[in-house]
Structure formats: structure tokens, C-alpha cells
Structure 1
Amino acid sequence: MFGLSDADLAAFWITFKLAATGTFFLMLLATPLAWWLARTRSRLKVVVETLVALPLVMPPTVMGFYLLVLLGPRGWVGGTLEALGLHHLAFTFTGIVLGSMFFSLPFVVQPLQNAFASTGLRIAEVASTLGASPLDRFFTVILPLSRRGLLTAFVLSFAHAFGEFGMILMIGGSIPGATKVASIAIYDHVEAMNYSGAHALSAVLVLSSFCMLMLIFALNRRFKVVGAV
């Protein structure tokens, strides 16, 4: 397919699985955080927002290095797992999923926070007067009204994970069939002067990214039209 080798197809599959897995769990964890940031008046809000936005300005290799230390055999997480008789998470698929989640955090939290903030308090208060519980109000009122933000967060996180390179290379290396994603496979092709292989895999990633962005623009336009009606 598209002139891709079996190794390229394996790298593309790992990339897709990484983006899908990381985005799924990140959406679950980031949604409550975004809701809290949209509603809270705590003094800690500025600190939390800064930490969430840090991956936007931090070099990927720096984040990858510290995550490697944290998840490796001598780190807090990796060392604890080793003490429990388990394997550390450095150079594993689970490790790059966690790294991808940290690195994509602002691409999920910020759109969701803006979406939740734009819904306002009035609608939730009306639902409360009708007997809806806080959890019911969130799932039946707030989330449907925030669907554009949810879609944006999902697609941005997926697309961002799809093209990540530096952080993945630091924490996962380039293990075929385990942590070697498409962006690393492209780098390996270029390093080996195999430009045809790099072109083929790059074209697939460009086409995939274009389709994801076109999807979000089309759906956002549809939601806007439906909301106006």
C-alpha cells in the first residue's frame, strides 16, 4: 500500500494505536480537569494552567528525558514497579502512551476548558431547578453543549500524537514492532538515504493529517449550523 514496506506498515499501525490509546485515556482524565479549571476560583488555577500549558513551550526531548528518568528502573515510577516484581515502563508501548498523554495535555484541556466556560452557569442552574443532579447536568446538558470543544480536543490530541518524534524517541527508542512509530521510521529512512521509503511514509502521514483536520472543520461547521437552527 502506497509503496510501504511491512516494517513501515508496522510503524504506522503502532502510531495509530498510540494515538488512539493515548487520546482515549487522555480525554477521560482531562475532561474533569478542564471542567474544574473552567469553574474554579481557586488560587491554584494559575499554577495548574501553567503546568498544563508547559508542553507547548518545553522541548520534546526535555520532557522525554525526564519521563525516561521517571519511568526507568531508577525512577519513582519505574523503581516502584521493579520493587513490586514488575517491569519498568521505559522503552515500552505503555511508556510512550504515557509520554504522549503528557505531551498532548494542553491540546485537550484548553479546548475543553474554553468549551465548558462558554456554556455559562445559567443553563446548569435551570437544569438544577428541574431536579437534575450535578452528574446528570454534566452528562445531559454540559457535554452536549460542548460537543465542538470535545471534537476539537479529540482530533488535536490524536493528530498531535500521530506526528510526535522527539519525546517518543527519548522515552521509547526505536524498537521495531513495539515503540518504533512512523515519524521515527521516516527518520531512519532518511538516515539510510532511502528517500523513496521516506517519501511514501511521509505522504501517508500528510494525507492522514489532512483528513483529520478536514473532518474537524466539517463537523464544526455542521455543529454550528445545527446550533443556529
Structure 2
Amino acid sequence: MSELDFEPFLLSFKLAAITTIILFIIAVPISWWLSQTKNRFKPMIEAIVSLPIVLPPSVIGFYILFALSQNSPIGVFFQETFGVKLVFNFTGLVVASCFYSFPFMVQPLQSGFESINKNMLEASYIAGKNKITTVLNVALPNMKPAVITAIIITFAHTVGEFGVVLMVGGSIPGETKVASVAIYEFVEIMDYESAHIYSAIMLGMSFLVLLGVYIFNQHHKRKLGVHI
């Protein structure tokens, strides 16, 4: 067994934290709009948002790699304007992770917004509050289970990414070599003991994350039942 290096886990958690924060900021207005709109193009937009759930990670990774490469308009713009390359570095991983984990943030938030009592929203509007204030001060505080679920699932899903991050970031120690990539490399060199340890950590973390979500939601439902 080679000496275990836990830096890939720290890198995974850093990537997941940054991705989750960015996606929450982006997804709140989008989820709100999807929950309230009657636009005839809503199903198409929802399908686009949900694509990463059904598309193979290699397909998503390929298109993101193509879009962010130094030969693409986006890649050239960032390289010439900010001096930043968007592939095979941590910045590229963040961009790729935001695309890949997007529906895991949007869908729970959208469901939460749709479950909000419409009378509460109307009361806020009647009181002179605008939509932004209503979303921040009325809707979000009254859909805590959806918010917690969205944040935790997005974080956990990002930690577990493999295909997308490997294609866009490769395996650069301390830069793009996240835990899932490290496990893959352990298997490649037949270091199964290290692969078992890393995999067990990932398995345990994933279980605890899901358990925490279900316990919180169950506790919240019981609390609501008592109040009712």
C-alpha cells in the first residue's frame, strides 16, 4: 500500500464548497422563476436544466472541455482578458462542476418554492414588498427542508464527481486530482488497499449526508405536525 494522501479529499471539499455557493446564488432566481412562470417554454427550459442528470458524464465533460479550451471563443476571451486558462486547472473544475451539479440545486429549490403557501406571498406583496424581498424574507425561510436538501445534495454530488472533472481537469496533484480521480488511479496501479480506504471514506460520507437530510426532513415534518 502506498502512503495515503488526503489532499485529494481536501481538494474535493474545496471544489464542492465553492460550487455549492455559486450554484445557490445562481439557482435561487432561476428556481423561483420556474416555480412561478406559466411560460409555454417552461418544459423546454426544465429539460435543459435537467440534462446533466441523464447525460453521460463523458459527454458533458467533452462539451465543456471543447467550450472552455484555448481554441474556443470563451477560452480565448478569458486567456486574453484575465490571463486565466479554463481547462486542466482548478478554475476549470469549478466551471465544469457548476454545469454538472446545476439540476441538483435547482430541482429541490423549485419544489420548495412551489410548495410555499400562495397566501403568504400575496400578503408580502400587499405589504409593499418586492419580489426579491419576498423571496429572501418569506419564501426561503419557509422552505428550509428544500434549501438544506439542495445544498447538501449538491455538495455531496460535487464531491463524488469523476468523469467530468477527469476530462476537464485531468489529474494534477494539488490542483485537479480530487478524491474520485485518486481512487481511479489507485485501481489502475492495482493498489486496491488504498482504493478500498478512499472508497470507504466516500461511501461513509455519502451515507451520512443522505442520513442527515432524511433526519432533518423527518424532524421538520414532525415539527409542522405539532404546530398544526
Q: TM-score range by the shorter chain?
A: over 0.9
Out of 10, 28, 48, which is 2:45 matched to? 48
Q: In 2, Cα distance between the equivalents of 1:204 and 1:129?
A: 51
SS in 2 for 1:84: helix
Q: 8 Å contact 2:4–2:194 — kept in the other structure?
A: no
Is it true that 1:210 corresponds to 2:174 in the alignment? no
Task: Give unmatched runs, 5+ long, in structure 2.
Answer: none
For residues 86-111 of structure 1, give each alpha carbon's deviation from its aligned partner in whole angstroms, at most 9, with x where no partner exists: 13210111111111111111111111
| Pairwise CA distance, 1:44 | 2.3
Runs of 4+ with deviation above 4 angstroms: none
Question: 1:65 is matched with which residue: 62, 69, 81?
Answer: 62
| Pairs aligned (count) | 226
Q: 1:178 aligns with which of 175, 182, 194?
A: 175
2:198 is matched with 201
Quick check: 1:93 aligned with 2:90?
yes
What TM-score results when the alignment is normalised by the length of structure 1? Answer: 0.94
Query: Is 1:80 paired with 2:48?
Result: no
Looking at structure 1, the residues matched to 63 and 125 of structure 2 have their Cα atoms a distance apart, in angstroms, of 45
How much does 1:226 deviate?
Answer: 2.1
Match of 1:227 in 2: 224
Distance 2:35 2:165 in 1: 31
C-alpha RMSD of the superposition: 1.5
Distance in 2 (CA, whole Å) between partners of 1:155 and 1:132 is 30
Q: CA deviation at 1:26?
A: 0.5
The range that moved more, 212-221 or 177-186, is 212-221
SS in 1 for 2:85: coil
Q: 2:79·2:85 contact (CA, 8 Å) conserved in 1?
A: yes
By how many angstroms is 1:132 displaced?
Answer: 3.0
Structure 1 residues without counterparts, runs of 5 or longer: none
Specify the alignment match of 1:159 in structure 2: 156
CA drift of 1:4 comes to 8.6
Inter-partner Cα distance in structure 2 for 1:114 and 1:134? 18
Q: Which 10-residue stretch deviates more, 70-79 or 165-174? A: 70-79
| Contact 1:186/1:202 (8 A) holds in 2 | yes
Match of 2:139 in 1: 142
State whether residues 119 and 146 of structure 1, in contact with CA within 8 Å, keep that contact through their aligned partners in structure 2.
yes
Go from structure 1 to structure 2 and tell me whether the alpha carbon gap of 1:189 and 1:15 turns closer, same or farther (over 3 Å shift): same
